Amino acid sequence: MNTNMKNDSFLKKTQLLLQLMISALFCCSAAAQNPIPMEVSHWEFKDKTAEFITYKGVKAMKILLADKQIILKGHQFTNGTIEFDVELTDPDHSPFVSFYFRQQSPQETECVYLRAGKPNSEKRNDAVQYAPFIKGINLWNMLGQYQGPANIHIIGWNHIKLVVSGLQLRVYINSLEQPTLEIPRLEGNTIKGSIALDGLAIFANLMIKPDKTENLPAVAAPDLTNHDANYLRNWSVSRPHWLNDGQELAKKDLPADTTIWEPIHAERRGLINITRLYGAPNDKKRYVWLKTTIHSDKEQKVNMQLGFCNDVWVYINGELLYLDKNTYWSPMRKNPDGRCDLANSSFNIPLKAGENQLLIGLANNYYGWGIIARLATLESIE
């Protein structure tokens, strides 16, 4: 073995030792502050989904089955700090570890989770994500802006800290100085509820500090897209209908004069969020129609960016203009990685002088659904 190889081996061993020492320091620091007991009497769970052990010198809870929430009994959380240590037990096959707060039910809850099974998580923009559950649907594919890289240890403890204040959230992972993720507005429907843990992992040293928010503002931070007038923010939406397998929307499926409409307005980032209104079945497809009116002072073509999940049919003045799919588990997945984003598509809309009806059929059976639409220019347009 040459000198360079010996040096590389020494550096790798040193880095691993430092990582384990830092993890141990986090763990010991948390343990010194009287954490919530990791004992069976303090947790609600189904038989054989968790066991309570002593691990590396501390009392711990080991979750044995994935996608099985373990809920802290008798605690309602609104604002404050949540800290704990977590170590993955099967990152190769079950890399997801989730932390729930303000949970009214598994269908309505705030959630932060790790995608922890791959190396170099500090270079992956999807290593950690905030995504609420609304009507039982995880909105991860609608809120791609709320994910980012994180320094996740595949081996050894990870120290997690959540600071929750009103409508804002900060997430710290293996650092108490620089937030790993900063959420300017919590998007869930709940303001108070229980705390729960999930994922094939060992949890220890859970601490809850009510109302300790570290001066994090309780009001939402500004949405900078509010400064952009080119978003199409005001629509009318029909009630949902079932869509058979293999069926494509056609002229015969266009809304009738008897169609019932209701107004729907954009959320942050221009998102028209159908999930918040109708949920999503995640088995058989449903579709809605969205419509809005564009007034043009002259005949012209204008480019539109359209983000969507999952299938769209775009009609202008009764004529099919564009159709496409953005399905995560298919070759039709759009950049960025199947999320609803303005990068999904871009095309020109032919406008006549006067009123133009823009009609979009939107179908979904996979997590959240909605659109984001933005015109490239508003010249001669209302």
pLDDT (tens digit per residue) in 140-185? 999 999 999 999 999 999 999 999 999 999 999 999 999 999 999 9
| Beta-bridge partners for 108 | 105
Distance of CA 44 to the CA centre of its chain: 25
Q: Which of 27-36, 192-201, 354-363, 373-382 has the lowest mean pLDDT?
A: 27-36
For residue 239, is pLDDT > 90? yes
pLDDT tier at 280, thresholds 50, 70, 90: confident
Superfamily name and number for 224-375: Galactose-binding domain-like (2.60.120.260)
Q: Tell me: the pLDDT tens digits for 40-52?
A: 999 999 999 999 9
Cα(196)–Cα(204) distance, rounded to whole angstroms?
A: 13
pLDDT tier at 282, thresholds 50, 70, 90: low
Q: What is the mean pLDDT of residues 293-317?
A: 98
User: What distances in angstroms separate CA 365 from CA 38, 130, 285, one per listed residue?
Assistant: 38, 21, 5
Q: Which of 25-34, 320-329, 340-349 has the lowest mean pLDDT?
A: 25-34
Give pLDDT, residue 152.
96
Can you give the pTM of this predicted structure? 0.88
Sequence-distant (≥ 6) Cβ neighbours of residue 229 within 8 angstroms: 378
For residue 10, is pLDDT > 50? no
29-210 CATH fold: Jelly Rolls (2.60.120)
Average pLDDT score, the chain? 92
For residue 2, is pLDDT > 60? no
For residue 245, is pLDDT > 60? yes
Question: Same CATH topology for 29-210 and 224-375?
Answer: yes
What region, left, alpha or beta, does residue 82 occupy, with left being phi > 0 and alpha being psi -120 to 50 degrees?
beta
CA-nearest of 70, 109, 71 to 191 is 109
Fill in the amino acid letter for 193. G
Q: Which of 23-27, 91-95, 201-205, 362-366 has the lowest mean pLDDT?
A: 23-27
Q: Tell me: the pLDDT tens digits for 78-87?
A: 999 999 999 9
For residue 262, is pLDDT > 90? yes
Q: Which tokens in the block code for residue 25?
A: 């320091």
Give pLDDT, residue 33.
55
Residue with tokens 């029909």: 238
Q: Domain boundaries in the chain?
A: 29-210, 224-375
Q: What is the 3-state secondary structure (H, E, C) of the chain?
A: CCHHHHHHHHHHHHHHHHHHHHHHHHHHHHHCCCCCCCCHHHEECCCCCEEEEEECCEEEEEECCCCCCEEECCCCECCEEEEEEEEECCCCCCCEEEEEEEEEECCEEEEEEEECCCCCHHHCCCCEEECCEECCEECCCCCHHHEECCCCCCCCCEEEEEEEECCEEEEEECCCCCCCEEECCCCCCCCCEEEEEECCEEEEEEEEEECCCCCCCCCCCCCHHHHCCCECCEEEEECCEECCCCCCCCHHHCCCCCCCEEEEECCHHHEEEHHHHHCCCCCCCEEEEEEEEEEECCCEEEEEEEEEECEEEEEECCEEEEEEECCCCCCCCCCCCCCCCHHHEEEEEEECCEEEEEEEEEEECCCCCEEEEEECCCCCEC
Q: What is the mean pLDDT of residues 3-31?
A: 44
For residue 344, is pLDDT > 60? yes
